[in-house]
Chains A and B, each alone.
Chain A
Amino acid sequence: MNYELVCGIETHIELATKTKIFCGCTTEFGGAPNTHCCPVCTGQPGSLPILNRKVVEYAVRAGLAVNCTINNNSHMDRKNYVYPDLPKAYQISQFDEPVCENGYIELDSGKRIGITRIHIEEDAGKLVHENGTTYIDYNRGGVPLIEIVSEPDISSPEEAREYAEKLQLIMRYVGISDCKMQEGSMRCDVNLSLRPVGTKEFGTRTETKNINSLSNIVKAMNREIERQEDILESGGKIVQATMRYDANTDEIYPMRTKENSDDYRYFPDPDILRFYIEPEFVEKTKSSLPELPSAKLRRYIDEFKLPETTARDIYKYRRVSEFLDKAVAMGASVKNTANMIIGGIYKTLETEEDKENFAIKTSAEQLSELIRLIDEKKINKNKGQEALAKMLDTGKAVSEFIKAEDTQGMSDDELRAICEAAVSANPDAVSNIRAGKGKAINVIFGYIMRETRGKADMGKVNKIINELIG
């Protein structure tokens, strides 16, 4: 039988607020165990939560960025369950009045993946298993999260990946989180079921938890689809379960089965007042949103006329795209800037994370200055690349590496004279070229570059040499 996939994703994103959701403790990642804690985030008897206003603001920002409507009236609920990393035995979350509802993300194909809701909640602590003992670190407890719940609109692992990738990029663009899956600041839970093609009813679903990279979303889903297909093909029934994907072995296995659905006994948290999100605030937030990734990509292709691959290589890192936009705004040409970034700066940034962080020693101002020299043909690209490499290495200004004499214009007559000298100084090379050995021209070029200290316009040089040699 042929099956089709029905899939929805729940994404938890840690918000980049300075302090936790209900107390003044720092949200900084790491730190010695239980040092970013206070009576509130460790649930000490008698302590009370105070909702961090910034968390609500960030959630509104996130919601608007994925086309959600904002509920002006909202409140916090208690989700009751027992686990050692949850010090109050309830998580303060939202049940029936989430901050955002009814949004969507558009995939490249034009298909929209619906977003059911976005709510705010607190993160739990972390269990650490060492030497046969379990320790608890509550540093992460009370770090603010948003949970973004998609509709079951996803119908392939590739769509799931694209959805998660787009979501990640949007949230990075609006600046609410760094969304690092490896560090856990973005975590995806994939709900997945199969049904015979053409049927309407949903099959029994499983939930694969805490997938820690985009590529693992695809891998984990493929394993789970295979597993469910095998069961269904052999006439078996899918049991509702929480699955765990092991990226090291590429295997999937159930963590626990759910015979009864969990009863979290949600009820409004009496310690936190209902809150009202003013429509004016929503409007203000909407107008403060930056250009979103899809618009930026379109602009790079349609207005900047960048090749699609180049445009994508830049837009997928928020800081890089901001860098490009800034350099261009200062007068650098789009094409040369993009080429300098991809051909120059990216060479020094090895990993995806390096590119994402984009911690480079030069500024958009400096790059723009350098590129204008290239644009105006005051120096050639090679010279520009060399200077850029030094700038990236030392953090020093363009003027340190491009001297005034480098940029003094060279007349066509001067250039022709040097070219003639090059031809007459290298008779062997000339005869080789005439004999059809094209590579020999490099000897001539090398001579010219040496003589001009790299500032010759190679386009013109080519033309002159062709005339001279014929």
Chain B
Amino acid sequence: MKELLTTLSTKLKNREISSVELTNEYIKAIEAENEKINAYVHTTFDYAIECAKRADDMLKAGDASPLCGIPMALKDNICSDGHLTTCCSKILDGFRPYYDSTVWTKLKREGAVLLGKNNMDEFAMGSTSESSCYGAPKNPRNTAHVTGGSSGGGAAAVAANMAAYTLGSDTGGSIRQPASYCGVVGLKPTYGAVSRYGLIAYGSSLDQIGPITNSVRDASLVFDAIKGVDINDQTSVDHEYGNITSQLTGDIKGLKIGVAEEYFEGIDKETKESVERALAFYEANGAELVSVKLPILKDSLPVYYIIACAEASSNLGRYDGIRYGYRAGDYTDIDDMIYKTRSEGFGKEVQHRIILGTYVLSSGYYDAYYKKACLLRNDIIRKFDEVFDVCDVLIAPNAPTTAPTLGYSSKSAVEMYMSDICTVPVNIAGLPGISIPCGKDKDGMPIGMQILGRKFAEKTILNTAYFYELNNKNVIGEYEGGVNL
């Protein structure tokens, strides 16, 4: 694994390359590769050059941040002023917000260069990015395979060297799982650690923005830049993290790693073995493995799908064709217009989830589904609290399998939902998790493991991941295409 951001930042600061030159390299790479990978659905190249020029000025003035002048991309559900942001949905066709998300405001201030918006599942609903209205992105490791989802485009862009890093969003695994499928690093921060202002909502109580990067240290650098309380997001939290990157040591002596057997049930043999090898490596190097029980994990999937869909059914009510986005061409009156706009504008998966969410909130069903899910959510939170009383981190697989081939998931929606079993629990509990590569299967597809911690324990999970990365270089192997400096 390469510490790309530090390398690039050093080159930029030493004037070995200017931000404009670097940006042009990435633009060339995107122009060459995107047809194959489909990682980008909108590009902002003119704006990128503008950003790069500004960054070069900042670099010349000295005292620039480690992200200054570095080209990156945002998931297509993160708003930036004047740029297409469409959640890969026909219903947001042509939508250009007139405001910046807080994360982009922060990165822009640091001199970041925005290359464009990354492909994703429509409204982040999916695990393969195949529900995108722009077609699925392809896994750079093998383009016959999916990237995972929903932040599939962002993971593919990083894996294929088409962006130095990207920001994704994670509602039920949407950062960690595609990072795992594509062999890169994905951090899902604690709920409230990063402002959601400007993130187009899917499940508001679960959504969290986080970085997808080439290395753990890179993830930490980006997290340091985007974290923090925000007056525009009441659910953001004022937590004193300090600068995490400067505190990464890779020291795991005495670290208590929890292993819950429930996380390993129904997991593909190669994935399981790979994660277990990593666990053994930690143990051999001074960590203590603690066996813990989390039988409540089996409840996570229904709880997740009920809460996420309930919130989504309400969040997505605003897409009616009146103020922005797509509007049906032919209609008789306002009700007909809204009906047709939504029927034509939303894809199948989104419609499924809106209907499911509407159902669980309906009077007569509310108590049986939504309310019960909320009660179970509290139980899940409590159980995780108990587990973190006896260990510092949990290590588990990211997904039952490596990336399936394109088209495979469409055969069974339930099987696709099941594949989220490893990732959704931390979203329900609002905990942080990081996914890092830990091996490859017999076909060379990346295997990832996730390291989970208690609330605001980003430093601990990053440091745990950092140790593995320091001692297991190049787990996946270099990718040949894209920008290679």
Residues of A in contact with B (beta carbons under 8 Å apart)? 39, 42-51, 78, 80, 82, 84, 87-90, 134, 136, 263, 265-267, 270-273
Chain B residues with Cβ under 8 A from A267's Cβ? Answer: 310, 314, 361, 366, 370
- A265 B197 Cβ-Cβ under 8 A: no
A436 CA to B71 CA, complexed, in Å: 108
For A90, the closest partner residue in chain B by CB is: B314
Q: Given that A39-B97, A39-B98, A50-B234 are contacting pairs, would A45 and B318 also be in contact in the complex, using a CB cutoff of 8 Å? A: yes
Bound CA span A90–B205, Å? 17
The proximity string for B residues 235-246 relative to A, scoring 1 for CB distances below 8 Å and 0 otherwise, is 100000000000
* B317 and A89 contact, CB distance less than 8 A: yes
B198 lies within 8 A of A82 (CB)? no
Kindly state whether residue B204 has any CB partner on chain A within 8 Å: yes
Flag if B205 contacts A270 (CB, 8 Å).
yes
Q: Cβ of A271 and Cβ of B318 under 8 Å apart?
A: no
Q: Which of B85, B198, B313, B363 contacts A263 (CB 8 A)?
A: B363
Which chain A residue shows the least CB distance to B199?
Answer: A46
What chain A residues lie within 8 Å of B420 (beta carbons)?
none
Cβ of B196 < 8 Å from any Cβ of A? Answer: yes
Bound complex: CA A263 to CA B361 (Å)? 9
Question: Please, what's the 1-or-0 string for B76-110, where 1 marks a CB less than 8 Å from any CB in chain A?
Answer: 01110000010100001001011101000000000
Decide if B413 is an interface residue (CB 8 Å cutoff): no
Task: Give residues of chain B (448-471) contacting chain A, Cβ–Cβ below 8 Å.
Answer: none
Contact with A along B198-220 (1 / 0, CB 8 A): 11110111000000000000000
List the 7 shortest-distance A-B pairs measured between CB atoms, nearest first: A89-B317, A270-B205, A265-B361, A270-B204, A45-B200, A46-B198, A46-B79
Complex CA–CA separation, A44 to B325 (angstroms): 11
Max count, chain B CB within 10 A of own CB: residue among A39, A47, A49, A267: A267
Report yes or no: A265 in contact with B362, Cβ–Cβ below 8 A. Answer: yes
- What is the distance, in angstroms, from B155's C-beta to the closest C-beta of chain A? 22
In the complex, which residue of chain A has the Cβ closest to the Cβ of B338?
A82
Instruction: Please give the residue numbers on chain B whose beta carbons come within 8 Å of chain A beta carbons, in ascending order.
Output: 77-79, 85, 87, 92, 95, 97-99, 101, 196-201, 203-205, 231-235, 310-311, 313-314, 317-318, 320, 322-324, 334, 338, 358, 361-363, 366, 370
- Which residue of chain B has its CB nearest to the CB of A269? B204
Is B317's CB under 8 angstroms from A82's CB? Answer: yes
Q: Which residues of A contact B197 (CB under 8 A)?
A: 46-48
Residue among A47, A80, A263 with the highest chain B CB neighbour number at 10 A: A47
Query: Could you name 5 residue pairs across A and B whose Cβ atoms are closer than 8 Å?
Result: A80-B361, A82-B320, A89-B320, A270-B311, A273-B234
Task: Give chain A residues whose Cβ lies under 8 Å from the Cβ of B234.
Answer: 48-51, 271-273
Task: Out of B85, B322, B361, name the residue touching A84 (CB < 8 Å).
Answer: B322
Return chain B residues, CB-CB under 8 Å to A265. 313-314, 358, 361-363, 366
Residue numbers in A under 8 Å from B324 (CB-CB): 44-45
Measured between alpha carbons, how far is A265 from B366 in the docked complex, in Å?
Answer: 8
Does B201 lie within 8 Å of A46, measured CB to CB? yes
CB distance from B260 to the nearest CB of A (A): 27
* B1 CB to nearest A CB, Å: 32
8 Å CB contact of B318 from A43, A50, A134, A272 = A43
Provide the residues of chain B in CB contact with A87, threshold 8 Å. 318, 323
Q: How far is the CA of A43 from the CA of B325 in the complex (A)?
A: 13
Known contacts A265-B362, A270-B235; 7 additional CB pairs below 8 A are A43-B323, A45-B87, A47-B99, A84-B334, A88-B318, A265-B363, A271-B204
Contacts of A51 in B (CB 8 A): 234
Contacts of B310 in A (CB 8 A): 267
CB contacts (< 8 Å) of B200 on chain A: these are: 45-46
**Bound complex: CA of A82 vs CA of B316, how far in Å?**
11
Residues of B close to A50: CB separation below 8 A? 231-232, 234
Complex CA gap A80/B320 in Å reads: 14
Per the bound structure, the CA–CA distance linking A346 and B363 in Å amounts to: 55
Measured CA separation A80–B316 after assembly (Å): 11
Hey, which chain A residues are within 8 Å of B198, CB to CB?
46-47
- What separation, in Å, do the CA atoms of A271 and B197 have in the docked complex? 10
Kindly report which residue of chain B lies nearest to residue A84, judged by CB atoms. Answer: B322
Contact check, A271 vs B320: say whether CB atoms are below 8 A apart: no
In the complex the two chains form, is B92's CB within 8 Å of A45's CB?
A: yes
CB contacts (< 8 Å) of A134 on chain B: these are 334
Q: A136-B322, A271-B204 are in contact. Are A90 and B99 (CB under 8 A)?
A: no
With both beta carbons as reference points, the residue of chain B lying nearest to A275 in the complex is identified as B234
Complex Cα distance, B204 from A46, in Å, reads 10
Task: State the CA gap A271–B85 with chains docked (Å).
Answer: 21
Contacts of B317 in A (CB 8 A): 80, 82, 88-90
Inter-chain contacts of B79 with A (CB < 8 A): 45-46
Tell me which residues across on chain B come within 8 A of A84, comparing CB atoms: 320, 322, 334
**Chain B residues positioned under 8 Å from A43 (CB to CB):** 318, 323
Return chain B residues, CB-CB under 8 Å to A78. Answer: 314
What are the residues of chain A within 8 A of B85 when measuring CB–CB? 45-46
A39-B99, A78-B314 in contact; A48/B232 too (CB < 8 A)?
yes
B204 touches A44 (CB 8 A): no
- Determine how close the nearest CB of chain A comes to the CB of B209; give it in whole angstroms: 11
Docked pose: A273 CA to B101 CA in angstroms: 20
Q: How far is the CA of A134 from the CA of B322 in the complex (A)?
A: 11
Bound Cα distance from A271 to B315, whole angstroms: 11
Find the B residue at minimum CB distance from A273. Answer: B234
User: In whole angstroms, what is the CA distance A50 to B363 when docked?
Assistant: 28
Contact present for A44 and B97 (CB under 8 Å):
yes
> In the complex, A80 Cα to B363 Cα: how many Å?
12
Q: Which residue of B lies closest to A134 (CB)?
A: B334
Alpha-carbon separation in the docked complex, A87 to B317 (Å): 9
CB distance from B357 to the nearest CB of A (A): 9
**CB closest chain-A residue, reference B197:** A48
Q: Interface centre among B77, B201, B314, B361, by most A CB within 10 Å?
A: B314
- In the complex, A42 Cα to B320 Cα: how many Å? 13
Nearest CB in chain B: distance from A82 CB, A: 7
| Smallest CB separation, A455 vs chain B (Å) | 66
> In the complex, A90 Cα to B357 Cα: how many Å?
14
**Also in contact, A46 and B97, with CB within 8 A (given A80-B314, A270-B311):** yes
In the assembled complex, which residues on chain A have CB atoms less than 8 Å from the CB atom of B370? 267
Q: Name the B residues within 8 Å of A90 (CB-CB).
A: 314, 317
| CB-CB nearest in chain B for A50 | B234
Please report the C-alpha to C-alpha distance between residue A154 and residue B338 in the assembled complex, in whole angstroms. Answer: 40
Residues of chain B lying within 8 A (CB to CB) of residue A39: 97-99
- Chain A, residue nearest B87 (CB): A45
